[in-house]
Amino acid sequence: MSSIVLQQAINGIVVGSLYVLVALGLTLIYGVLVQINFAHADIVTLGAFAAYGVTHLLSGNYLAGIAAALGLGAALGWLINAGIFVPLRERGSELLPLIATIGVSIMLQNAMLALLGPIPYAFDTPYSNQVIRLGTLFLTVQNVLIILVSGVSIALLYGFMKFTFLGKALRAVSQDRETAGLMGINPGHLIMLTFVIASALAGLSGAMLGPVLVLTPFAGTSVIVKAFAIVIIGGFGNVEGTILAGLLVGLIESYTTQFLDPGLIDIVVFALLLLTLAVRPTGLIAERREENV
Amino acid sequence: MSKTSPNAAAQSRERRVWYLIAAVIVAALPLFVTDSYWRTNLIVCALNILLAIGLDFVLGYAGQLNLGQSAFYGLGAYSSTLLVLKLGLPFWAAFAIGTLMAGAAGALLSFFAVRLRGHYLAIASLGFAVIIYQILLNWISLTQGPLGIYGIAPPPTVAFPGLPQIAFGDLRNLFYLTAGFTLIVYVLLDQMVHSPIGETLTAIREDEVSAASLGIDGPKWKAFAFAVSSAAAGAAGCFYAPLVGTLVPDAFFVSESFMILAMVIVGGMGTLVGPVFGAVLLTILPEFLRSLGDMRLIIYGASVTLAVLFMPGGIVEAFHLLRHRLFPEGEMR
């Protein structure tokens, strides 16, 4: 029994750490721009397919696939910011960019559906079948890789935000864009940088999620709705809260699968979301961002 | 105050003329469209108009982004069908209860709209839509889950003594029923948005704090707007079930909310006539693009993005611009 609990804890952390990567991208963009990129989901999916394609083309070099997904994500982030968010910025509406990216998402999903079809792809990496045993527990090397890559990415991002000049500038822009501009920071450049980083993270998590998910053109949607729940439970724009909430949702998912029913995962997660919104709308870790609450 | 000005009286008269023209179009359409495939499309059009004007009431007028319209649509469809199948209720009783249930769920969701704005509300309503979809999918003993409910009968035949019977298995009659109902809802909403109710809702949309300082009870009016909007979606769902004859949860996935949103945006948010054009265009256009297969949904997505980027007022704005180009002196009012 206790080994089942532990085993599911590992599975939960594996999936949860990938959700954290997706959710961090959303929350970073929200932090600097107070906008939501709905097509973030499709960057995850495209990252998964890019990794799949490159891995199979290069006869099983999964690491090259991950790099390709990272690059594709960064490029898409640049494109979506330049094409949608920059032109809409002066309108100052919080809903128009969201709606425009919903359109982008419908476009990308159906373009993938036309090219790749609705049948799930079997994405096996060379690491999926190598199992490490720890007593009664077991982990695939893929799982270890996921925890390592997401752990390192999260740590790098955290360090970047806290300790580098650029990271501080980013936080300055998210606190007060105009004052940051007066201090000689170019908010436009930093917003672009944020989009590129956030979308690269989304592509990366797609590459890592591809072998775990049912890989179809709609794979990202199931991830992104959970990522939305995570950023709200964690508090929008709050990095620590997002990490905590992401791991929490991963654990909820694996325990719901084990002890209740896999069909109930979304119901449990979103019930928690609505409960958070009703009781503590600023998220688990409160931050002063009252304008939406 | 503006109600009594002569200009407002003229506009109100003009609106009544348009209602009459719309009624004539509804009455005449089945005379020209005799093919059952296109008659079915016309009914789908009427239901989409109902969904879109409902969403626009809460989004365009009260300024609340509700991504839960698919859930209210599904609630209406499933609750009315199950009330008929499991409890043996007559269709029209089930229709009334299904519509009210969807409206009540909308009022319930507005509890979140009272505390949240903008993005938070969008995600809360999206979460609500995901929960409803998952319940429809997983409560198999009630909804039969992904297998779906089959063989749903059309609304019962209406028979008044001395008059010919009206059977709704006939697509022409079902069109008159759904389009007539949609037209009535349109007229009601149009009267509402041109009354002090509409001014109250736009005041909340523009600045909630100032509205409150004028004595407007924001939470109450938001609950009202949500209830009206979701009841319209619920009613559309009650008609959807007997039209298609089959209910599966996938018809009410969150992407359906985005489709309805697309109709409102492409048509012109914040005008009631805009979503009508948007719904007609985005329902009928894909039928002509059917040969393109998956391309039609790509065009769907592109039209939303392009509309937001270049024509945020939608078809209505395009029409106004065109009219200005053609009649620069403004002789058309």
Query: Domain segments of chain A: what residues?
Result: 2-292
Dump the DSSP string for B49-104: HHHHHHHHIIIIIT------HHHHHHHHHHHHHHHHHHH---HHHHHHHHHHHHHH
DSSP bridge partners of A137: A134
User: CB-CB: which of A30, A95, A266 is closest to B65?
Assistant: A95
Distance from the Cα of B252 to chain A's closest Cα (Å) equals 15
Domains held by chain B: number: 1
Residues 219-248 on A with a CB inside 8 Å of B are 221, 225, 228-229, 232, 236
Q: Does the structure show a pLDDT above 90 at B75?
A: yes
Per the prediction, chain A carries an average pLDDT of 83
Determine the structural domain holding residue B26 and report its residue range. Answer: 2-326
Distances (CA, A) of B115 to A63, A277, B112, B121, B223: 46, 8, 5, 9, 12
Contacts of B308 in chain A (CB under 8 A): 88, 96-97, 99-100, 103
Report yes or no: A76 and A199 within 8 Å, Cβ to Cβ.
yes
Q: Residue B333 falls within a domain, yes or no?
A: no
Nearest CB to B119; choose among A36, A229, A264? A36
Q: Is residue A204 within 8 Å of residue A47, measured between CB atoms?
A: yes
pLDDT, tens digit, 9 for 90 and up, residues A279-292: 776 666 554 444 44
A57-61, A269-273, B44-48, B136-140: which has the minimum mean pLDDT? A57-61
How high is the pLDDT of residue A286? Answer: 53
> For A15-50, what is each residue's pLDDT tens digit?
888 899 999 888 888 878 788 888 998 999 999 999
DSSP annotation of B170 reads S
Return the top range by mean pLDDT from A164-178, B93-107, B317-331.
Answer: B93-107
The beta strands (E) that lie in A102-238 are given as 131-134, 137-140
Cα A9 from Cα A17, distance rounded (Å): 12
- Asked if A107 lies within 8 A of B305 by C-beta distance, the reply is yes
DSSP codes, B250-275: GGGSHHHHHHHHHHHHHH-TT-SHHH
Burial A256-285 (b: 16+ CB within 10 A, else e): bbeeeeebbbbbbbbebbbebbeeebbbbe
With bands split at pLDDT 50, 70 and 90, how would you rate the model's confidence at B69?
very high
Express each pLDDT in B223-263 by its tens digit: 889 999 999 999 999 999 888 888 888 889 888 898 898 88
CB–CB of A225 and B254 under 8 A? yes
* Cβ distance of B303 and A103 shorter than 8 Å: yes
Q: Which residue in the block uniquely carries the two structure tokens 């004052």?
A: A179
Q: Is the pLDDT of residue B1 over 80?
A: no
Give B209 or B241, the one with higher predicted confidence. B241
Q: Is position B332 within any domain?
A: no
* A-chain residue closest to B138, CA distance: A263
Q: In the predicted model, is pLDDT for residue A96 greater than 50?
A: yes
Which residues on adjacent β-strands are paired with residue A140?
A: A131
CATH number at residue B95: 1.10.3470
| pLDDT value for B276 | 92
Region B7-35 average pLDDT: 82
Cβ-proximal residues to B54 (8 Å cutoff; 6+ apart), any chain: B69, B185, B228, B229, B230, B231, B232, B233, B236
Asked if B51 contacts B76 with a C-beta cutoff of 8 angstroms, the reply is no
Q: Is A284 helix (H, G, I), strand (E, B) or coil?
A: coil
* pLDDT, tens digit, 9 for 90 and up, residues A207-243: 888 888 788 888 888 888 888 888 888 877 778 888 8
- Report the candidate in B247, B290, B329 with the shortest Cα–Cα distance to residue B75: B247
For the four alpha carbons of A224, A227, A232 and A235, in that order, the dihedral sign comes to negative
Chain mean pLDDT for chain B: 83
Return the residue in A106, A228, A231, A232 with the most chain B beta carbons within 10 A, the one to mutate for interface testing.
A106
CATH T-level fold of A2-292: ABC transporter involved in vitamin B12 uptake, BtuC (1.10.3470)
Per-residue model confidence as pLDDT tens digits over A190-199: 888 889 999 9
Is the model's pLDDT at A293 over the cut of 60?
Answer: no
**Is residue A100 over pLDDT 80?**
yes
**pLDDT tens column, B100-127:** 999 999 998 887 767 776 777 888 888 8
**Is B152 a member of any domain?**
yes
Nearest-angstrom CA–CA distance, A189 and B150: 56
ipTM: 0.79
Closest CA to B123 of A80, A237, A236, A245: A236
Residue B66 lies in a domain: yes
Q: Pick from A113, A114, A229: which is nearest to B127 by CB?
A: A229
| pLDDT in the model for residue A204 | 92
As a whole number of angstroms, the distance between CA A73 and CA A75 comes to: 5
Nearest to B295 among A88, A114, A232 (CB): A114
CA distance B89 to chain A (A): 30
Nearest CA-CA distance, residue A152 and chain B, Å: 29
